[in-house]
Amino acid sequence: MAFVKTLVVVEGHEEFMVVEVPENEAPSWANKTDFDYVGKPTPRIDGVERITGKAMYTADVNLTGMLHGKIVRSPYPHAKVKGVDDSEALKVPGVIAVYHCKNTDPVAFEGDNFIFNPILRFVGDEVAVVIAKTERAARDGRELVKVDYEVLPFVVDTMDAVKPDAPKVQPKGNIVKGKPTVVTRGNLEAGFASADLIVEGTYSTPVVHHTCLETHGSVVSWDGDNVTVYDTTQSMYRVQAGFAQTFKIPSNQVNVICNYIGGGFGSKTGLGKYTAMAGLASKKLGRPVKILLDRDEEFLATGHRPSTIQKIKAGVKKDGTLAALSLEAYVPTGAYLGRFIDIGRPVRELYKCENVETKISGVYLNLMTHCAMRGPASSEGMVGIECMMDLIATKLDMDPVELRLKNYTDIGDQVKNLPYSSKGLQESLVYGAEKSDWKNKRNKKPGEGKANGNIVRGIGVGSLLWGAGGGPPSSAEVFVYPDGTLTVRSAVNDLGQGVRTLAAIIAAEELHIPIEKISVIANETEGSAYDMGSFGSRVTPSFGPAIRNAAYDAKMKIAKAAAALLDIPENEVQFEKGVFFKAGEKDNGVKLEKLLKTFNHPVVGSGFRGPNPPQYVLTSFGAQFVEVEVNTDTGEVKIVNLVASHDAGRVINPLLIESQLLGAVALGIGYGQYEEQFVDPATGIPVTVDFANYKIPTYADFPKVEPHFVKQVDPANNINAKGFAEPPCMPTAPAIANAVYNAIGVPITDLPVTPAKVLKALEVKRNK
């Protein structure tokens, strides 16, 4: 078996890995035009369970003898735990134990971050866990744990934290690695010198939260040396690895189960502290332990999209071409080092420019550590550059769409120096402009449209690029039974994006077995093929080809039996619409159903995702056009229409991909208009810890959205599809900001675009 080095880009991280080349790689569907299942709108195969209340989420797991845990959290942004008095808590009837750093061995969670840190670095940091017979008793006990804190100085403002005299969040200082990370190409100075015009802008984006409806939590149950972990997670195998590492046990003793998950959005991609605590408590007590977070804990301690401060400087020629681009950014990582600080990809890659520099400082703050959130780092980065493009367009008196097309990179990925496998950005911009009536709706000069009473209108555009090619590792097994039914088995999480349905469609297409006869088991690690997890828009382009390979493998095995039955060499067997035949003799073929009956065991096909093709890189593109009405008396912004045009390669399930688009746009609207974490500067306490104060879009807020998919067959994988979970939430916020700019004539450079900010901008405009 051949091994090759391949590039995998997931969540903005590029990794080279050495992987096997599958011997059973299914031939690409690139030239296939006749599909029976792929491309047809298919309702979810696990839909009935979700709709009838039968789906069991982690919150619904109940085991015999199960205990409940509730976590005591730091009320201070920075403090030392001097002592923990759990005596009162232990007196509450039903409370069985309290664990904290003073009565447990330190359990390392990640690097120098422990389950119970003796030094607490943010409001919400875990101090203790109370274990009781009922959730109520655990909560009562939690109220009574007395902690002796030594309060330390704190910092929660990014620009305060970079000052030399700022309180230290981490002993080594507040700038990650001590200095900014710089990525340069070309000659920035020369580039700016050659420009006809220099345009500068500073943009800021807030901390926003995932707000999964199902809160984080786990149920852990030991049976001797073996442990079962029920966890609401996007990656069962990652939880398995994290748990095994934390407790120093072999992975194969850990079974992670997740049947259904109520939202993840990037916040549930690995081991959680609550899982480790449940593991610790259940081992000590010899009983299963369930720990579920409350809603306020979700806002305090489950990660978030980090805020950013972005200073962009662009040097442009009179004709609109970019001569130089620089980004200086500050991204607060939180109390510990997270992995999504590099927001520079859009600046480095979206528009053609030879002279580019991104200089990004990660900053420690006394806040929870950030984590991935749908389109991490690049969603933040998209805001700055896309708003800057509209500013440049105004200064050059150019159409913002024309400006973007002027700086189009049809040469490919100018960073990796590789062509894109396909790029549907131009089509998206052109289609979107037409569908939204851009030419007529756009105020040629921002703010100079005709007002209708106190309503002014405008339209704005935002575009995106995102790594959506996935890659190994991902694998699946397919069991084809003598009775003609089929089961796909792999430990991959269906978050509600329709992974199980994707698996069924692909297996159905490959073997011509109807979807009603297919079941997909994707619930636990035990006995299941490996998949890295559901994040980074990786499932369709990673798991899809893996299932195909598994189904193809099964088909080839059955083909051997066909060859024997038809008395022909194996390489002369063809398969079409459920029939095996010799080329040219379709009428003398043998049906799959009949062949299967000759087996007295299931035919097992096994497949895995091979390397990414080295000659190009798969990237997702798209553009959204947002038309708004702004009320100049109240500052309210109403989205009148939103056209979203994207490239997703081959659309496997048009019903579900549209849901994915609409859902992602909702998230983008929240980012653009409503959502913002607010931290009280005097105490370091986040005050947006409930849905009343942290406003996510509701059913009543949803505008008209017109989705569109560029017709595309991507050559980079054998199902010709791109990942699509994240791209559609990425252009929305900048498009909204640009639309409001077009409507009122003043750019809003600080997300979210709230009524207060609109009114302030209008006041500034009046005073000029």
Partner 1 sequence: MEKKGTTRRDFIKATATGAAAVGIVSAGAFDPNSLEFGPQPVIAAEEPPKEAYREPVYEQIQITVNGTVRNLLVDTRESLAEVLRNHLHLLGTKVACDHSECGACTVLMDDTPVYSCSTLAVKANGHKIRTIEGISDGKIMHDLQQKFFDKDAYQCGFCTSGQIMAMLGFLKKYPNASEEDLKQSNAGNLCRCGAYPNIHKVALEAAKEKQK
Contacts of partner 1 in 87-106 (CB under 8 A): 87-94, 96-98, 101-106
For residues 88 and 147, what is the distance between their CA atoms, to the nearest angstrom?
A: 12
Q: Which of 347, 351, 366, 229 is nearest to 290 (CA)?
A: 229
**449/496 with CB nearer partner 1:** 496
**1/213 with CB nearer partner 1:** 213
**253/414 with CB nearer partner 1:** 253
Q: How far is the CB of 494 from partner 1 (least distance, A)?
A: 9
Q: How far is the CB of 35 from partner 1 (least distance, A)?
A: 20
Q: Which of residues 488-547 bind partner 1 (CB under 8 A)?
A: 495-497
Q: How far is the CB of 338 from partner 1 (least distance, A)?
A: 21
Q: Which of residues 248-287 bind partner 1 (CB under 8 A)?
A: 248-249, 260-263, 265, 283-287
Contacts with partner 1: how many residues (CB under 8 A)?
A: 91
What would the DSSP string read from start to end of 318-374?
TTS-EEEEEEEEEEEEESS--S-----HHHHHTS--SSEEEEEEEEE-SSPPP---S
For residues 27 and 424, what is the distance between their CA atoms, to the nearest angstrom?
A: 24
Residue 62 vs residues 50, 57, 280, 503: alpha-carbon distances, Å: 19, 11, 18, 29
Q: Which of residues 381-400 bind partner 1 (CB under 8 A)?
A: none
**Is residue 80 a contact residue for partner 1 (CB under 8 A)?**
yes
**144/353 with CB nearer partner 1:** 144
Residue 543 vs residues 421, 474, 476, 605, 618: alpha-carbon distances, Å: 19, 6, 8, 15, 15
**Is residue 3 a contact residue for partner 1 (CB under 8 A)?**
no
Q: Give the residue, chosen from 188, 350, 705, 762, that forms a contact with partner 1 under the rule CB under 8 A.
A: 705
What would the DSSP string read from start to end of 629-690?
EEETTT--EEEEEEEEEEE-BS-S-HHHHHHHHHHHHHHHHIIIII----EETTTTEE---S
Q: Do residues 533 and 238 touch, judged by C-beta distance below 8 A? A: yes
Residues 356-392 as b or e (16 or more Cβ within 10 Å = b) = bbbbbbbbbbbbbbbbbbbbbbbbbbbbbbbbbbbbb
Distance of CA 16 to the CA centre of its chain: 21
Q: How far is the CB of 698 from partner 1 (least distance, A)?
A: 6
**Is residue 166 a contact residue for partner 1 (CB under 8 A)?**
no
* Residue 316 per-residue DSSP state: E
**599/702 with CB nearer partner 1:** 702
* Residue 473 per-residue DSSP state: S
For residues 661 and 309, what is the distance between their CA atoms, to the nearest angstrom?
A: 28
**199/644 with CB nearer partner 1:** 644
**16/699 with CB nearer partner 1:** 699
Structure tokens at 518: 């297919």
For residues 59 and 80, what is the distance between their CA atoms, to the nearest angstrom?
A: 32
Burial of 31 (0-12, 13-18, 19+ CB in 10 A): exposed
Q: Do residues 722 and 649 touch, judged by C-beta distance below 8 A? A: yes
* Residue range at the interface with partner 1 (CB under 8 A); choices 157-165, 188-196, 329-337, 664-672: 664-672
**210/238 with CB nearer partner 1:** 210
Q: How far is the CB of 224 from partner 1 (least distance, A)?
A: 10
Q: How far is the CB of 659 from partner 1 (least distance, A)?
A: 5
- Count of residues for the chain? 768
Q: How far is the CB of 641 from partner 1 (least distance, A)?
A: 13
Q: Which of residues 598-627 bind partner 1 (CB under 8 A)?
A: none
Q: How far is the CB of 702 from partner 1 (least distance, A)?
A: 4
**Is residue 295 a contact residue for partner 1 (CB under 8 A)?**
yes
Q: How far is the CB of 249 from partner 1 (least distance, A)?
A: 8
Q: Which of residues 672-701 bind partner 1 (CB under 8 A)?
A: 690-692, 696-700
Q: Which of residues 32-51 bind partner 1 (CB under 8 A)?
A: 43-44, 47-51
708 DSSP β-pair partners: 645
Q: How far is the CB of 512 from partner 1 (least distance, A)?
A: 25
For residues 119 and 150, what is the distance between their CA atoms, to the nearest angstrom?
A: 9
Q: Which of residues 107-146 bind partner 1 (CB under 8 A)?
A: 107-108, 114, 118-119, 133, 136, 140, 143-144
**100/345 with CB nearer partner 1:** 100
Q: Do residues 378 and 358 touch, judged by C-beta distance below 8 A? A: no
**148/680 with CB nearer partner 1:** 148
**Is residue 666 a contact residue for partner 1 (CB under 8 A)?**
yes
Q: Which of residues 191-210 bind partner 1 (CB under 8 A)?
A: 210
**48/764 with CB nearer partner 1:** 48
